[in-house]
Amino acid sequence: MIVEPKIRGFICTTAHAEGCRENVKNQIEYVKAKGKVASGKKVLVIGASTGYGLASRITAAFAGGAATIGVMFEKPSNGKKTASAGWYNTAAFEEFAAKEGLYAKSINGDAFSKDIKEQVINLIKEDLGKVDLVVYSLAAPRRTMPDGETVSSVLKTTGEAYTNKTVDVANRTVMPVTIEPATEKEIEDTVKVMGGEDWKDWISAMKEADVLADGAVTMAYSYIGPELTHPMYYNGSIGAAKAHLYNTAKELTKEFAEIGLSAYVSVNKALVTQASSAIPIVPLYTAILYKVMKPLGLHEGCIEQMHRLFKDKLYSEPKVLADDCLLRVDDWELKDEVQQKVSEAWEKISTENLDELADVDGYWDEFYNMFGFGCENVDYDKDIEIDIKIPSIV
Ligand code: NAI
Q: Please spell the DSSP secondary structure of 252-265, one letter per residue.
A: HHHHTGGGT-EEEE
The residues, any chain, with a CB within 8 Å of residue 155's CB and separated by 6 or more, are: 179, 232, 236, 237, 238, 278, 279, 280
Q: How far apart are the first and last CA of the chain?
A: 23
Q: How far is the CA of 351 from the centre of ligand 1 (A)?
A: 30
Per the CB < 8 A criterion, the answer to whether 80 and 51 are in contact is no
What distance in angstroms lies between residue 137's CA and the mean position of ligand 1's atoms?
5
Of 194, 196, 200, nearest in space to 155 by CA: 194
Q: How far is CA 344 from CA 226, 292, 353, 358, in A?
A: 13, 11, 13, 12
Q: Which three-class secondary structure state does DSSP give residue 383?
A: coil
Element (H, E) at 213: strand 212-222
Check: CB of residue 29 under 8 Å from CB of residue 63: no
Which residue type does 323 have? D
Q: Whose CA is nearest to atom 21 of ligand 1?
A: 72
Q: What is the pLDDT of residue 278?
A: 72
Beta bridge partners of 333: none
CA of 306 relative to ligand 1 center, distance in Å:
14
Written as one letter, the residue type at 10 is: F
Q: What is the β-pairing status of strands 67-72 and 42-46?
A: parallel
Q: Three-state SS for 176?
A: strand
State the pLDDT at residue 323: 86
Helix (H/G/I), strand (E/B), else coil: 175: strand
Residues marked as catalytic: 233
For the CA of 50, the closest atom of ligand 1 is 3
One-letter identity of residue 351? T
- Tell me which amino acid residue 264 is: Y
Give 290-333 as a 3 state SS string.
HHHHCCCCCCCCHHHHHHHHHHHHHCCCCCCCCCCCEEECCCCC
For residue 155, give the DSSP letter: -
Closest residue by Cα to atom 14, ligand 1, is: 140
In the chain (394 residues long), the average pLDDT of successive 10-residue segments reads 90 95 98 96 98 98 98 96 98 98 98 98 98 97 95 94 90 92 97 98 98 98 93 94 97 97 96 77 92 97 97 90 91 97 96 96 93 96 97 92
Ligand 1 is surrounded, with C-beta below 6 A, by 47-53, 71-74, 86, 110-112, 137-140, 221-223, 268, 270-271, 273-276
Domain ranges of the chain: 7-370
Query: What is the reported pLDDT for 317?
Result: 85
Q: Which CATH superfamily is domain 7-370 in?
A: NAD(P)-binding Rossmann-like Domain (3.40.50.720)
Whole-angstrom Cα distance, residue 214 to residue 204?
Answer: 14
Contacts (Cβ under 8 Å, ≥6 apart) of 239: 158, 230, 233
Which residues does 48 contact at the CB level (< 8 Å), separation at least 6?
54, 56, 57, 68, 70, 71, 72, 90, 106, 135, 137
C-alpha 51, offset from chain centre: 4
Q: What is the pLDDT of residue 371?
A: 96
Q: Please count the other Cβ atoms lying within 10 Å of the Cβ belonging to residue 285.
A: 25
Coil, strand or helix at 243: helix
